[in-house]
Structure 1
Amino acid sequence: MFTEPAVTLDERVELASAEWLAESERFLGARTRGLSLPAFSISERLDNPPPHLATSERDAPFGYTLRFAGDQVTAEPRPDETADCYRVADYTASVLYATIVYDGDAREGAVREAGHVTRMGLGDWQGRMPIESISNLCGELHDHMAARTVNNPDIRHRAEALGLADNLRDLDERGYTILPGAFTEEFADELRAEAHRNHDAAPPDVGFRATMLLRRGRLWEEAVLHPWVLTLMEHLLGRGCLVYQSDTIIKGPGLDTHPGLHSDYGASRIPEPFPDYCLEATAVWAIDDFSLPNGPTVVMPGSVAKRSQAPKGATRDGTKPLVMERGSIALWHGGLWHGAMPRSAPGKRTSLHNAYCRQFMRPLERYDDIPQEILDRNPPALATLCGLDDAFGKSGDHGADFERLGYAAKMGYGATTLPA
C-alpha cells in the first residue's frame, strides 16, 4: 500500500496565486470568526515573479495584502506599500521560505540553508509589527500554506532567478556541472555527524554505504529538496521526477570504490542506444573535500553523446577528476561515464549521493509508503519525489487513478516547458 498525503492534489497552490489567496482567506476567516481584531494590514511585494503569474498590467507590482478587521480577513492580489507591515522580496527567494513547514520547530537549519542558497535572504519587514494574536494567526497560516505550496513550475525562470543558467548549459553541453558553495559548513558538519552515526550503527558486512536515507531523519529530507539540485534535476528529468536512491559513502584509506568506469543506467538495465533524453541523474555532495588524495569522482567528458554503457575494462585514463571543496555539489547526467580515484590520504571522506529519475521509471529505493509524519513536516515537493503524485501502482477495483493521471497532465509531468 502507499501513503495518501493529508494534503490532496487539488489543494496545492503556487505562492501568491489566486488559489493561494483564496485558501489563505478561507483559512484565516475560519480562525477569526467571533474575534474582535484591530484593523491591521500586512503586505508583500514579490519582485521577478514567473511570467504566468505576473499581472497583465504592464509594470504593475505583484504580491498580496492581508487585511484584518474585527472577525473579517481579506486577501488581496496586489501589494500595498502603505500597509501597516510591508516587505519587498524576490519571488523565488520567498518561495524557499514559504515552503518551510515549522510545525512548532524552529527549523533553524532549513532557514539558514534557504538564506545561503538564495544569496539574498528576504528583506526586513517595514512599519509596525502586528499584535500577538495576529502574529500567531500568521504563523498558523504559514505552516498551513507551506504544506500546500508548490515550486514555480517554470523551470527556466526558476533556474535563472537562482543563478543557475551556466549550470544548465554545462549539463546540456558536458553532461555534468559543479555547484560550489551549495551548502554551509554548519550543514556539512550536521550531515557528516549523522552519516557517521548511521555507518557506525550498521552491521560490519554492510560495506561503505548507508542507504534509504529519507527514512532516517530531517537532515536527509532537507537535502533531497535542495532548490538548486531540484531545479537542475527537473531540467534534466522533467517535472514530477522521483528519488531514485539516497545514500552516503564513507571512504577510508586505500579504498577504491569504483576502479573502472560505468554509467548510472546500468542498475535499471537501460538498453542501448540510450534515449537522447535523460532518464536518471545523480547529485554528489562533498561533505568533505573532494581533493585528489581524498579520492574524488572522475568523469569522461563527451561520453553522454555515445549513448551506451562504458565498455568492459574501461579505465580512468582520459577522465577528469571532479575536484571540489567541502560544501560543493557535483551533478551529472545518468549516461555520463564516471568512476572514482582511490583514496590515498589518511582518515575518511564522507559524501552524500542523491539520485533522481523520471516519473515513469522504477526507483531503486521505495518511498511511496513513507510515514505520514514525514510528509506532514515537508512541502508537497517531497510527496512528489516519493512517487505519491503519479498514478503508477495505484489502480484499484474501479480502474486507474484518474485524479492522479489528470494532475500529472495538468502539471506537465515529464516535461521541462510549461504546459499549454
Structure 2
Amino acid sequence: MYTLPDRFEFMSDAWLDEARRWFEGRKPPAPFAVSERFADAPPHLQFPDDAASWTARFDGEAFSITRGFDGSADVTVEGDYQAALMSAQFVGVMAPGAWKAMQREVDNAFGKGTVRMKGRLQPEASELMMHFHDHMGRRTVENPDLEHRARRLGVAGKIREMEEQGYTVIERAISDEFADEVRTATLRALSSQGVTTLNWMTYHGREFELLLQNPQLMTLIDASLGRGAVIASISAIRRGPGPGFIPMHTDYAHVPEPYPEFSLTGVGVWALEDWTLESGPTWIVPGSHKHRRPPREGEGHNQGVPIVMPKGSVVYFHHGVWHWQGDRTAPGERVTIHAHFNRGILRSLEPKKIDVQMLHRNAPRLGEMLGEDDWFDKLSAHGRDYSRLAYMNKLHAFTEAKKREILGEPAAPKGQDLGALVS
C-alpha cells in the first residue's frame, strides 16, 4: 500500500506475488515446506485477527505459495510481526556469522524468543531459502504505520518525551557485542588515516550500514523529520581525557531566528562504551528547542543535564536543541558515532555517494536515507519523477497522522491530496 513499484510490505499480497515469481521454475532435489505466522501485524494490511501467515511448499515438481499457516511444515516460524520484519530486512544471511548476528540484534530489540523457529531443512533447501530471504530483504520496506511500529518497538513514549524535552535516550538499542564491533571498526577507520574525527563513516564498513538502519532510532527520526529523511553526515569522534572541545550550540547552521516550529535536523549519538559523568558525555538543555533560537553567550549551562547511558545506547536530539560536549576526567577514550539526519527537503553536509553494491546488500531503508526514494534530484528533461512524488506525499501523510495518534492530538484537517493529483 505504501511502496514504490519494486518494493513490498512484509507478508502483503504483493510480497507473496514476488515470492511466487522468485520460486517459479526452481527445483530443489527433494520436497519440503516452510510456514510462518506472525501476530500483531499493522492493521492497514487487513489480515484476519492481524495475523500474517504464508506457506511455501515444494512437492517435488513445483512450488506453491499460499496464504495461511501449516504447523506440519518441515520448518515453522512464529512470533511478533515487527520482530520478524526486522529479520526479514536483514540482507546477507549466508555470510559467516551473519545469521547469528541478525538473531542477536532481534533478541536485543524485542526479547529472546520473540521469533521462534522449529524444524530443520536439508542443506540444499536451506541454502535456497537463504537466497530467497536475501532477495526479499532487498525489496522489503519498513512498516509505514508509525504508531504501530513505535508501540511494537517500545518507543512510543520516547517520541512523546522527544517532543516535550527535545531529546530522548534509547538504552541498549544495540547489543554489547554489536557496540564492540562498531567501536573496533570506528577505531580502525580513524587509525588508518591518523585522525580523531572522520566523516563519511557510512562507507567505512558493513557495521555502519547496519547501525544506520537500527529500527528504534529510525522510528524517532521518522517521527521528528518525516519519512524520506536523508543522511546529513555520519561522523566519528575519538577523544581522551581533557576539557570538551565542542561548545554549546545548536545544529541549525544558517537557519535564521525564529527557528521553525517543526524540526529540520536530528542527531543520534551512539555510546560505544558506558557514558558516565566522568567519561565526558554530551550535555543537553531540556526543552531548549522551544526557544526557537541559539543560546546567547553564557546562557543555559546551569540548566544542562549530562547524558548518562550504558554501552549500546543512543541519545537522539532534534529541533535546535542546545547541547555541548562535556569534560572527560576518566582515563581511556570515548568513541562515538554521530548519525546526523536532515528533513528530506534539505541538502546534506556530506555529498551522497550512491554505491549500487551497498544498495544491493541492504534493505530499501538505506536507499531511502541516501535520497533514492524521493523525487528530489530526480528532475530530467521530461520533468519530475511523479511516481516518487506521489509515493512520498502518501507516506508523509500517513506518518503525520500516526504521529498525531501517538501524541494524542486531533487529526489534521483534510486538504488536497497532491499525491492523488500527480499519480
Aligned to 1:239: 227
Deviation for aligned residue 1:247: 0.8
Report the Cα distance in structure 1 between the residues aligned to 2:30 and 2:50, rounded to whole angstroms.
31
Is it true that 1:390 corresponds to 2:374 in the alignment?
Answer: yes
Aligned to 1:91: 81
1:18 maps to amino acid: D
| TM-score normalised by structure 1 residue count | 0.89
Deviation for aligned residue 1:404: 2.3
Report the Cα distance in structure 2 between the residues aligned to 1:101 and 1:344, rounded to whole angstroms.
41
Question: Aligned ranges for residues 13-412 of structure 1 at < 5 Å?
Answer: 13-32=8-27, 37-38=30-31, 40-55=32-47, 57=48, 59=49, 61-102=51-92, 104-106=94-96, 107=98, 108-126=100-118, 128-203=119-194, 208-259=196-247, 261-266=248-253, 269-314=254-299, 316-367=301-352, 369-412=353-396
Deviation for aligned residue 1:164: 1.2
Structure 1 runs (4+) deviating above 6 angstroms are none
Report the Cα distance in structure 2 between the residues aligned to 1:318 and 1:96, rounded to whole angstroms.
38
**Higher helix content, 1 or 2:** 2
Report the Cα distance in structure 2 between the residues aligned to 1:110 and 1:316, rounded to whole angstroms.
41
Report the Cα distance in structure 1 between the residues aligned to 2:121 and 2:329, rounded to whole angstroms.
59
1:227 maps to amino acid: P
Residues 60-91 of structure 1: CA distance to partner in whole angstroms, max 9, x if unpaired?
74311112223322222222334343222100
Contact 1:43–1:63 under 8 Å retained in 2: yes
Report the Cα distance in structure 1 between the residues aligned to 2:304 and 2:22, rounded to whole angstroms.
56
Contact 2:25–2:62 under 8 Å retained in 1: no
Report the Cα distance in structure 2 between the residues aligned to 1:29 and 1:247, rounded to whole angstroms.
44
Report the Cα distance in structure 1 between the residues aligned to 2:42 and 2:245, rounded to whole angstroms.
43
Residues 376-403 of structure 1: CA distance to partner in whole angstroms, max 9, x if unpaired?
1110000000111112122122122223
Deviation for aligned residue 1:236: 0.9
Residues 171-210 of structure 1: CA distance to partner in whole angstroms, max 9, x if unpaired?
121111111122222222222222222222225xx5x311
Report the Cα distance in structure 1 between the residues aligned to 2:117 and 2:164, rounded to whole angstroms.
42
Change (3 A) 1:335 1:284: same
Report the Cα distance in structure 2 between the residues aligned to 1:28 and 1:159, rounded to whole angstroms.
33
Report the Cα distance in structure 1 between the residues aligned to 2:298 and 2:193, rounded to whole angstroms.
32
Query: Which stretch shifts more, 158-167 or 83-92?
Result: 83-92
| TM-score normalised by structure 2 residue count | 0.88
Deviation for aligned residue 1:36: 6.9
2:310 maps to amino acid: E
2:211 maps to amino acid: A
Query: Which stretch shifts more, 345-354 or 209-218?
Result: 345-354
1:359 maps to amino acid: G
**Please, which runs of 5 or more residues in structure 2 have no aligned partner?**
403-418
Contact 1:93–1:121 under 8 Å retained in 2: no
Name the SS of the counterpart of 1:142 in structure 2.
Answer: helix
Residues 201-258 of structure 1: CA distance to partner in whole angstroms, max 9, x if unpaired?
225xx5x311101111101111111111011111111111111111111111214222
Contact 1:29–1:71 under 8 Å retained in 2: no
Report the Cα distance in structure 2 between the residues aligned to 1:273 and 1:47, rounded to whole angstroms.
46
Contact 1:212–1:245 under 8 Å retained in 2: yes
Name the SS of the counterpart of 2:42 in structure 1.
Answer: coil
Change (3 A) 1:96 1:61: closer
Report the Cα distance in structure 1 between the residues aligned to 2:346 and 2:25, rounded to whole angstroms.
42
Deviation for aligned residue 1:52: 0.7
Aligned sequence identity (%): 35
| Aligned-pair Cα RMSD in Å | 2.2
Contact 1:45–1:62 under 8 Å retained in 2: yes
Change (3 A) 1:133 1:264: same
Name the SS of the counterpart of 1:124 in structure 2.
Answer: strand
Change (3 A) 1:80 1:288: same
Deviation for aligned residue 1:122: 4.6
Contact 1:103–1:377 under 8 Å retained in 2: no
Name the SS of the counterpart of 1:25 in structure 2.
Answer: helix
Report the Cα distance in structure 2 between the residues aligned to 1:196 and 1:129, rounded to whole angstroms.
39
1:19 maps to amino acid: A
Change (3 A) 1:275 1:71: farther
Report the Cα distance in structure 2 between the residues aligned to 1:135 and 1:199, rounded to whole angstroms.
39
